[in-house]
Structures are given as structure tokens and as C-alpha cells.
Amino acid sequence: MIILIVIVFAILGFVVSNKLKSKFKKYSQTPLQANLSGAEIAKLMLADNNIHDVQVLSVEGQLSDHYNPTNKTVNLSPDVYYGRNAAATAVAAHECGHAVQHATSYTWLNLRSAMVPVQNISGKILNIVLIASLFGGYLLGLPYELIGYIVVGSYGVMTLFTLVTLPVEFDASNRALAWVQQRNIVTKPEYDMAKDALHWAAMTYVVAALAALATLAYYVFVFFGNRD
């Protein structure tokens, strides 16, 4: 069953990822009428939100764009940093949306940030216990039921992390789209392209959350589903 879950969501994730890449490629071919690069758009959005302590940097990779709250940097891939199109606009504004969340202490972002160390620890515990469970728990000297509680608890934390990520990502996209529209950065067709690109970007997180929920349900069934 776990193999089936992995295969199904791996295929679904592959399809969504390819769709995102194709959308980004398609929307990168139409020059932005405002003729602003992703970097220029990011700096403008930050300034409009009175954020002056965040740097906009170019980083290697494709769709490697992210906001780093630790050092307060908006990191854009070359295609986005230098791009002057709807796709670059959408991604740059989205990452700045995270910077705005950080600056305004957005509740879901704060919760997600607080969960990062707990999620990392849970992942390490889960790896150790799952390996030990292959030997009936004897490597840890723990009864099967206790291992079940640890596995479900650890994976529950990881699943919660993926769920908390959803409102963070959707809110960042909403902030981005509202700003580019209000600022007249994009035309109506360009706005529709930006919205579509961000939709498919969000779907990658939705698939990850669904996969986590399905896997958690599987572990609950394996360890506790056969009780009388």
C-alpha cells in the first residue's frame, strides 16, 4: 500500500511539476508591457510596503526562487531576476509576498517558522524508528505499539507542516496578484498569465500535503487499524 501511495503521488507530483515548468516557459515568451525585470519588480514591491532591510539577489538554478527570513533576502533564479515577462513578474512578486508576511508578522508564516526545527527533529526520529521497525523494534528495545505512536506522532508533525505551508503560499500569491494589479504592473492578459502560473506553483504544495495526509493515514492503519 505504501508503495502504491508513493507511486501515485510521485506521478501526480511529476505531472504538476511539468505543468508548472511548461506554464512558466510559455508565459516567459511574452515581453511585459511595463518592461520591468523581476528584480526591479521585487525592489518596487518591497519599497511600496516600506520594507528597506531586504535584499534582492540572483541565485543559480531554475525555479529555485525563495525568500529567506533568516538573512532577509529575496532570492530569484536568473530567469526571474532578469526576466521581463508575466512569469518572472508572478514569481518575483510572490517571493516578495513572503517578505511582506515576515514584516507584518503573518500568523501562518510565524507558525511555519516555529515548526521548522520540530519538523526537522521529527524527520530524524522517523527515519531511525522506521529502520528499527524493520526488525520488529528490537534495535530500539521498544514494543511495536510504542513504535507506532512514535511513527504516527512524528509523521503527524511533518504532515501538519505541509498543511501550514498551504495558507502561507496561497496568501503570498494573493498579495502578489493584488499588488501587481493595483500598481498597474501588468495588463489584463498579463495578469491572467501571472495568476495561472502561481496557481500551478501552489498545486505543487497541495500535492505534497495530500501525499503527506495519505501516508499518515497509512501509518495509522498499519499500527492501529487491526485493533479489535
Joined together, the cell numbers standing for residue 72 give 532577509
How confident is the model at residue 10, as a pLDDT?
A: 85
Residue 82 has pLDDT above 70, yes or no: yes
Whether 85 contacts 30, CB under 8 Å: yes
The pLDDT tens digits for 135-154 are: 655 556 777 788 888 889 99
CA distances from 111 to 14, 54, 159, 163 (A): 29, 21, 14, 11
**In the structure, what pLDDT confidence band is assigned to residue 1 with cuts at 50, 70 and 90?**
low
Active site residue 95: yes
Which among 156, 160, 210 has a CA at the least distance from the CA of 6?
210
Lowest mean pLDDT among 20-24, 172-176, 194-198: 20-24
Q: Is 137 left (phi over 0), alpha (psi -120 to 50) or beta?
A: left
Residue 175 has pLDDT above 60, yes or no: yes
CA distances from 25 to 30, 59, 83, 86, 95 (A): 10, 18, 11, 10, 19
Which residue has better confidence, 172 or 147?
Answer: 172
The pLDDT tens digits for 15-63 are: 998 999 999 999 999 899 999 999 999 999 999 999 999 999 999 998 8
How confident is the model at residue 142, as a pLDDT?
A: 72
Task: Taking residues 92-109, report their average pLDDT.
Answer: 97
Active-site residue (options: 40, 95, 169, 190): 95
**In the structure, what pLDDT confidence band is assigned to residue 227 with cuts at 50, 70 and 90?**
low
